[in-house]
Amino acid sequence: MSRLQNIIFDLGGVLINLDFSKTTNAFHELGFPHFEEMFSQHKADQLFRKLEKGEISNSDFYEVMLKVGNDSITEVQIRHAWNSLLLDFRAESIGFLTQLKKEYKIYLLSNTNSIHLEAFNEILEKQMGLPSLDGLFTKAYYSHQIGLRKPDAEIFEFVLKDAGITATETLFIDDTSENTTAAAAAGIRSHLLLPGERIEQLAYFRDYLISSNSI
């Protein structure tokens, strides 16, 4: 097996804690009784896919949601409900990236959108004093900026080509099985991060950093 040289990290559920139920409940309260059919950890309807691929603007998104909802809700309420799923960053995991960057090329690959990007940057600034995640990585890839989203095969092909890295020398870590399965199909070594697992505890890194042996 090729020596591990590159690591691609998901963001939500890997570096920042999420609670999808908070956003679901917030939208229920705003008059969206079937919000989970529109968006969840494992599902995104056409509107949310377009938002995450940067195919519609924030204004377009809010306009559609206001039409779907009742007349009494506001754009501010929708933004608050949409951002409710974002909790706190995993400080030890964020700190661990600095150590990993000495040994590997590390990348971020996130299905996100400009509304969430602004919100989690604010959380990061408040919690850890960092203006953004970008400086922690060799390169950060956000779905709405590159027009591609997981688990589509094209996004993995894009990252490998753009970064100039080889699939067999790369590990992908994500908390959603659809995404790790898709990455594996592209030839990338993949790890599904389970609830309770943290990247700094994974054997891949512990063994390498202690002994400098390839995995």
Chain segment 129-164, per-residue pLDDT in tens: 999 999 999 999 999 999 999 999 999 999 999 999
Domain around 62: 20-83
Check the CA dihedral 80-120-140-172 and report its sign.
Answer: negative
Q: Is residue 157 part of a domain?
A: yes
Contact 144, 51 (CB under 8 A): yes
Residue 208 has what pLDDT?
A: 52
CA 64 to each of CA 47, 68, 75, 196: distance values in angstroms, whole numbers, following the listed order: 8, 6, 11, 36
Residues 109 and 196 in one domain: yes
Distance, in Å, from the CA atom of 12 to the CA atom of 109, rounded to the nearest integer, reads: 10
What pTM value is reported for the model?
0.93
Contact 125, 133 (CB under 8 A): no
CA 55 to each of CA 6, 114, 148, 149: distance values in angstroms, whole numbers, following the listed order: 29, 11, 10, 11
Residues 157 and 59 in one domain: no
Please report where in the chains the tokens 């809700």 appear, as a residue: 73
Q: Is residue 177 part of a domain?
A: yes
Checking if the pLDDT of 212 tops 60, the result is no
Q: Is residue 194 part of a domain?
A: yes
Residues 96 and 50 in one domain: no
Residue 214 has what pLDDT?
A: 40
Domain count, the chain: 2
Residue 143 has what pLDDT?
A: 98
- β-strands 139-142, 105-110 pairing: parallel
Residue 109 has a CB neighbour count (10 Å cut-off) of 29
Q: Is residue 124 part of a domain?
A: yes
Distance, in Å, from the CA atom of 180 to the CA atom of 10, rounded to the nearest integer, reads: 10
Residues 77 and 103 in one domain: no
